[in-house]
Structure 1
Amino acid sequence: MWVPARTVAPMASTTLLDAAPGARLRLDDVTRAADGRGVPVQLGLDEIGTPLHEVTFVVVDLETTGGSPAGSEITEIGAVKVRGGEVLGEFQTLVNPGLAIPPMITVLTGITNAMVMAAPPITEVLPAFLEFAGLGHGTVLVAHNAGFDVDFLRHATERMDLEWPRPQVLDTVALARRVVTRDEAPNHKLSTLAALFSTAVTPDHRALHDARATVDVLHALLGRVGPLGVTHLEDLATATDPVPARRRRKVSMADGLPDTPGVYQFVGPGGEVLYVGTAVNLRRRVRQYFTAAEKRARIGEMLDIATGVRTVPCATALEARVRELRQIAELDPPYNRRSRRPERRPWLRLTDEAFPRLSVVRRVPATDLHRALGPFSSRGSATAAMEALQEIAGLRRCTPRLPAVPRAGANACVLAEMGRCGAPCTGGQDGRAYAVAIAPVRAALASDVDQAVATIRERIAGLAAQQRYEEAATERDRLRALLQGARRTERLRPLVTTPEIVAARRRDEGGWEIVLVRHGRLAGTAVSPHGADPMAVVASLRAGGEAVPPPADACGAAPVEESELVADWLEQAGVRLVDVVPGPEPLACPVRGAARHEVPGRG
């Protein structure tokens, strides 16, 4: 059943030098690596990947009583284990299916009922095959029309209450479709490919013979896909993807990139930055662009133009994501759609006048942070939130600046006639009465939205009761916009007004990830190795971190997206506050804030 292989000489071992991890990475240091212009990097095997000549392939072929595991059984298993072009072992046995073999199957395979009568059942054969194959340990399972063979093997393991090892599977049919044209072969049957590549064994529907022929076909196909960039184990997962050959060849851009967090830049023929992205594993992420997983037409266009990749390795994933935001804002790459204009986020605030009104603005002074909501994701969202607040109080909506004493001859608008405005323009309200009327609006801007939410929900219920569903939906959308803006304000306001935060999170591999935040801006990040004193790293980080003065504008020390990334990190389970230099308000969300209320959905 198990034929021993000839001895294969082991490869010479290589000693790799690991660079000592730096205790601190300054956020403003920009380095280039693995692009031919930076400092040389000594790569480890896990960074390079596993070359195909070091991969163990188990090529299997089955003969069965039918075309589906449901109602059919295996009658023969043949397999060949190969690595680097050398045969490591072969496995072959007939299997007693426990049922009669149909005559047409006997004609096709030559396997008769008499031949399998004394053969072992699948319950004895399958464990032996799985032991031979060694699947689940980096071994790749190969078959021609692999779905057929894998389905039978998996179905058999499930019936025996065995665990299917879920190996990486390579289908030589799918691989042949990528590199064998119709001009070369009329189809991609095993017999056709065997004739095309002049295999040493002619397939004849016997399991071991067909497996041996598939081995030769596999080697011929791998020789063809090598120039297309399929040179390592990691490439096999996408080797059959419908990716243009010119693009797949560019996968070599990822060669030598580190398996660390960082930022990558695709650059064009003139060295211009086309696209900026971030990754927790730079090499793996860049490789994904050259597979079928990348379906964006615009990015495909960018990849066709790109001539190289520059990377900025980072100590932590948070640093990488922040660097990405800053580089997009600075470089304005043509193929990045998001985060290119972070400074244009709108706010909602009360104007500073005798009879204030709500206004959507682009800038809010830091001193007015408690009189504004935002920033909102769009002007439409800010306008919807403004309309929600305008409906809960007799807030004027006219834009002229009104004096404390009404002008002679002033006329009220139609809203005053409808009872929806107190008409301070004509003296219908004095300053004191107007302030009382708009108190719910001031409360909402100061993080107390309870009254506003209750009023709007009551209006929604009334409209729904009258079957005015479209109007109710409009009110619901306004309420959603208001709550989302209020939640963002409540979340970021304590962060951006706090002069300094030092926090730490334990790393899975040991040691600590340490973050320095000043006024909502990431001022530095560091990694304290396992066994080292983290407080020494904290002291170094605080001394060398970016100096961030109090911003003149609300959320002005950093783009809103950056402050939200920092807030996400701080809210992770396991994050510990090491030290806080307190600001004007506590580093916490208000008890009676918008976070208490559910954001209404569209259902």
Structure 2
Amino acid sequence: MQAIQATFDDLGTRLADVTFVVVDLESTGGSPAQCGITEIGAVKVRGGDVIGEFQTLVNPAEPIPAFISVLTGITDAMVADSPRIESAFPAFLEFAAGSVLVAHNAGFDISFLKAAAVRTGTPWPGFDVLDTLTLARQLVTRDEVPNHKLSSLARVFASPTTPDHRALHDARATVDVLHGLIERVGNLGVHTLEELASYTSRVSPAQRRKRFLADALPHAPGVYLFKDGDGRVLYVGTSRDIRSRVRSYFTAAEQRSRMADMVRLAHAVTPVVCQTPLEAQVRELRLIDEHQPRFNRRSKNARRQLWVKLTSERFPRLSIVRQVRDEGGHHIGPFRSRVTAQAAVDAVHEIVPLRQCTQRITGTESACALAELGRCGSPCTGAQSRDDYARVVADCAALFSGDARGGGDKLRSRLAELAAQERFEDAARVRDRFLHLVRGAARSQRLTPLMQARELVAARRGESDGWEIVCIRQGRLAGTVVSPRGGDPMVHVRVLQATAEVVPTPEPGATAALIEETEILLRWLESPGVRIVELDGSWTCPVGGAGALRRELEPAVAAAHEVVGFDRDAGDAGRDFPRRAARDRHRRAG
């Protein structure tokens, strides 16, 4: 029995089955907005055979410049009785209907044809277009030709037609060049229109030959793993259509240079079909964390996160730690870099006079420079009692645990003080550091309740009008299912609850999932259309928490530094503030 390809989605359109119309134009000049077409020539080919030709002179309704007549041989007298573009253009469209347009330096010819469509009030059909000049620059080297003009390429491919700036002759020569180029790319594994249209010499023949790795993959959402000959995972990715995405790695659509090296080493691709895009995101994260693939960059350091801790010692201070431990202190974070964590610490010290020394306090130490500047109450010398220092610590603890209103008031006062002193650069640094602080605090205040909820079941309308149902336990995705359209979703909710992963309550200070996984789930829960079905636990966020202050600061920092996004680490912003401050001072002086 002969195998039949059901659709062109997998293999594309075979070049032998494509009808090409190779077109060439002559005109009164180089600007389609100001010049007119004087001749249209076109050749229709399919499967290497010429199946039709089209040629007509066109009266441009304007004099043909003398140098154009010398170049093309077309004179005013020759076109005097020829049809105007209003007649010639529709005739060409009828000839070219349903084909792929081909031209040498196609931008020139297509721009004139589109201008003719506008001039005649005809909708442009939206042809697919191939440019033989673009292909030739990648396939014909300078060792073969001095340049990539049509006349030079016609000699290389032994065209019997010499280009002479007459439209039909040049179109015939371009046909021979097209066939020569198709023969060359055929030897490189290019056999479909889609591959030809996206051809680039950046994609090596070896890379193209590995397209077979996608042949058995499903058209389904999920995760895919590229593996080498020893079964080691090289790269993990996710897509709504695994097969189509993997196929793109063997074409010009994939432009990341490191991916070419990855494909060269790949021997197999393993798919993991997922119920929903959310499940695919989580599985991708877990697989990257498990295998640490050498070609993945994002999410490889999901466990390398930092927290800012308010210690639980006799005179607490701030410390940057790599792990949350159940020692009675307050934590905010995580932060993705030490720079942003330190910025958060500096922001607290700007408004709360916590001690910054690290030694154990006995009450007999000498005062430091911060104490002399009034930035510390000096509990180390006994100048500040434990009760007085506890009130300072309480201000910081409130900011960490859910009441940022006091901290916000102190920040505004500090910024007003610096502005009154015209210390605008310092004000910018304080504001930007404080944004890192409230980002970390808001992240902690949003994530902690979800990580402590024993079970949360939520649902959202799916793309097929069914329900995407998600079960989250201790901040970890325990299971997901899609209920069919018209069915009772609660039946699927009960089945999901009975079959979802059992997630034990983690040890104090530990988490049941990667923080990044919980953040993915939180973003999904906060997306439009999500409904909470059942909740075993408490999922809340403090009204006066850091989130409100973050929403106040984000727009100001975004406008000043073009930095947006809740989770983006911008480092210690303020690098362009001196220029703005100088400009503001200049305006006031003027």
Q: Shorter-chain-normalised TM-score: which range?
A: 0.7 to 0.9
Distance in 2 (alpha carbons) for counterparts of 1:368 and 1:503: 32
SS of 1:277's equivalent in the other structure is strand
- Of the candidates 515, 522, 538, which is equivalent to residue 470 of structure 2? 515
Distance in 1 (alpha carbons) for counterparts of 2:383 and 2:217: 71
Q: Paired residue for 2:312?
A: 352
**Is residue 569 of structure 1 aligned with residue 524 of structure 2?**
yes
- Of the candidates 275, 283, 297, which is equivalent to residue 315 of structure 1? 275
Is the Cα–Cα contact under 8 Å of residues 302 and 515 in structure 2 kept in the other structure?
yes
Supply the AA of the counterpart residue of 1:397: Q
Distance in 2 (alpha carbons) for counterparts of 1:279 and 1:113: 59
Q: Note the alpha carbon deviations across 1:425-466, whole angstroms, 9 max, x for none.
A: 344333432222222211111222232233234323433443
**Is residue 590 of structure 1 aligned with residue 543 of structure 2?**
yes
Distance in 1 (alpha carbons) for counterparts of 2:485 and 2:163: 57
Supply the AA of the counterpart residue of 1:480: L
SS of 1:96's equivalent in the other structure is coil
SS of 2:303's equivalent in the other structure is helix
SS of 1:79's equivalent in the other structure is strand
Q: How far is the alpha carbon of 1:482 from its aligned partner?
A: 0.7
Q: Paired residue for 2:588?
A: none
* Residue pairs, 1:56-455, within 5 angstroms: 56-85=19-48, 87=50, 89-134=52-97, 139-199=99-159, 201-240=161-200, 242-291=202-251, 294-365=254-325, 371-402=330-361, 409-455=364-410
Q: Note the alpha carbon deviations across 1:276-311, whole angstroms, 9 max, x for none.
A: 222333344334444556554444443444444333
Q: 1:553 to 1:48 in 2, by over 3 A?
A: farther
Q: 1:90 to 1:546 in 2, by over 3 A?
A: farther
Q: TM-score, normalised by structure 1?
A: 0.82
Is the Cα–Cα contact under 8 Å of residues 47 and 257 in structure 1 kept in the other structure?
no
SS of 2:86's equivalent in the other structure is helix
Distance in 1 (alpha carbons) for counterparts of 2:504 and 2:26: 75
User: Greater relative contact order (Cα 8 A, min sep 6): structure 1 or 2?
Assistant: 1
Q: Paired residue for 1:580?
A: 534
Is the Cα–Cα contact under 8 Å of residues 481 and 492 in structure 2 kept in the other structure?
yes
Q: Which runs of 5+ in 2 are unaligned?
A: 562-590
Distance in 1 (alpha carbons) for counterparts of 2:199 and 2:212: 14
Q: How far is the alpha carbon of 1:69 from its aligned partner?
A: 1.3
Q: 1:298 to 1:412 in 2, by over 3 A?
A: same
Supply the AA of the counterpart residue of 2:516: E
Supply the AA of the counterpart residue of 2:280: A
Q: How far is the alpha carbon of 1:358 from its aligned partner?
A: 1.8
Q: Paired residue for 2:578?
A: none
Distance in 2 (alpha carbons) for counterparts of 1:166 and 1:554: 60
Q: Note the alpha carbon deviations across 1:202-228, whole angstroms, 9 max, x for none.
A: 544333343333233223212211233
Q: Note the alpha carbon deviations across 1:136-164, whole angstroms, 9 max, x for none.
A: xxx53211111111111122223445443
Mean Cα deviation higher: 333-342 or 548-557: 548-557
Is the Cα–Cα contact under 8 Å of residues 439 and 546 in structure 2 kept in the other structure?
no
Q: How far is the alpha carbon of 1:581 from its aligned partner?
A: 1.8
Q: Note the alpha carbon deviations across 1:512-543, whole angstroms, 9 max, x for none.
A: 33332222222223333444444343333332
Q: Which runs of 5+ in 1 are unaligned?
A: 1-11, 17-43
Distance in 2 (alpha carbons) for counterparts of 1:241 and 1:453: 57
Q: Segments of 4+ in structure 1 off by > 6 A?
A: 366-369
CA RMSD in angstroms, aligned pairs only: 3.1
Hey, which of these two has a bigger chunk of helix by percent?
A: 2
Q: 1:513 to 1:202 in 2, by over 3 A?
A: farther
SS of 1:375's equivalent in the other structure is strand
Distance in 2 (alpha carbons) for counterparts of 1:145 and 1:334: 41
Supply the AA of the counterpart residue of 1:379: R
Is the Cα–Cα contact under 8 Å of residues 50 and 233 in structure 1 kept in the other structure?
yes
Q: Paired residue for 2:457?
A: 502
Supply the AA of the counterpart residue of 2:60: P
Q: How far is the alpha carbon of 1:171 from its aligned partner?
A: 0.6
Q: TM-score, normalised by structure 2?
A: 0.84
Q: 1:318 to 1:585 in 2, by over 3 A?
A: closer
Q: Paired residue for 2:581?
A: none
Distance in 2 (alpha carbons) for counterparts of 1:502 and 1:241: 50
Distance in 2 (alpha carbons) for counterparts of 1:190 and 1:394: 77
Q: Paired residue for 1:545?
A: 500
Q: Note the alpha carbon deviations across 1:177-234, whole angstroms, 9 max, x for none.
A: 2222334334333333333334465544333343333233223212211233423333
Distance in 2 (alpha carbons) for counterparts of 1:593 and 1:447: 7
Mean Cα deviation higher: 328-337 or 306-315: 306-315
SS of 1:561's equivalent in the other structure is helix
Mean Cα deviation higher: 167-176 or 266-275: 266-275
Q: 1:534 to 1:203 in 2, by over 3 A?
A: farther
Distance in 1 (alpha carbons) for counterparts of 2:409 and 2:90: 66
Is the Cα–Cα contact under 8 Å of residues 25 and 39 in structure 2 kept in the other structure?
yes
Q: How far is the alpha carbon of 1:345 from its aligned partner?
A: 0.8
Q: 1:109 to 1:469 in 2, by over 3 A?
A: same
SS of 1:539's equivalent in the other structure is helix
Is the Cα–Cα contact under 8 Å of residues 259 and 281 in structure 1 kept in the other structure?
yes
- Of the candidates 420, 426, 430, which is equivalent to residue 475 of structure 1? 430
SS of 1:260's equivalent in the other structure is coil
